[in-house]
Amino acid sequence: MTDPTETPDEATPQLRELADIPAVEVITRAAVMLMSAAAEKIGLSAEDPDDSPHRDLDEARRLITALAGLVTASAEYLGPHAGPVRDGLKSLQLAFREASAAPEEPGKGPGEKYTGPVW
């Protein structure tokens, strides 16, 4: 419940702050979150990814596909961030292919319907 003596701006400081963040920063933060989560699910944070307790390639596939959709849809708005974000996506797609017991053909991996084949 809010204090009736507070002004709307004082009652919702998180909304005010979010409204001040440029779209490119929100998109980039979302991309970094998806990249980090996908890397964890591939097992890249472990010394031996095959033994990672967090490894879940089905979850990684979903995260990479969501990242590919976000990157593809927002590339024109990312400016100088577009290249590094695309590079991170490609690295995750290649890491996923390496981690898979039966890798898909190029063009069939996670997110490749948005990015095209990854070699």
**What's the Cα-to-Cα distance from 106 to each of 44, 81, 89, rounded to whole Å?**
21, 25, 15
pLDDT at 5 over 90: no
pLDDT in tens, 87-98: 999 999 999 999
Residue 100 pLDDT grade (very low, low, confident, very high; cuts 50, 70, 90): very high
Question: Contact, 85 vs 71, CB < 8 A?
Answer: yes
Most confident segment among 15-19, 22-26, 36-40: 36-40
Which parts of the chain fold into alpha helices (H)?
8-11, 13-20, 23-42, 57-78, 82-99, 112-115
Q: CA 28, CA 65: separation in Å to the nearest integer?
A: 16
With tokens 């590339």, the residue in question is 75
Percentage of the chain lying above the pLDDT 90 cut: 76
This prediction's pTM: 0.83
Contact residues for 16 (Cβ-Cβ < 8 A; gap 6+): 9
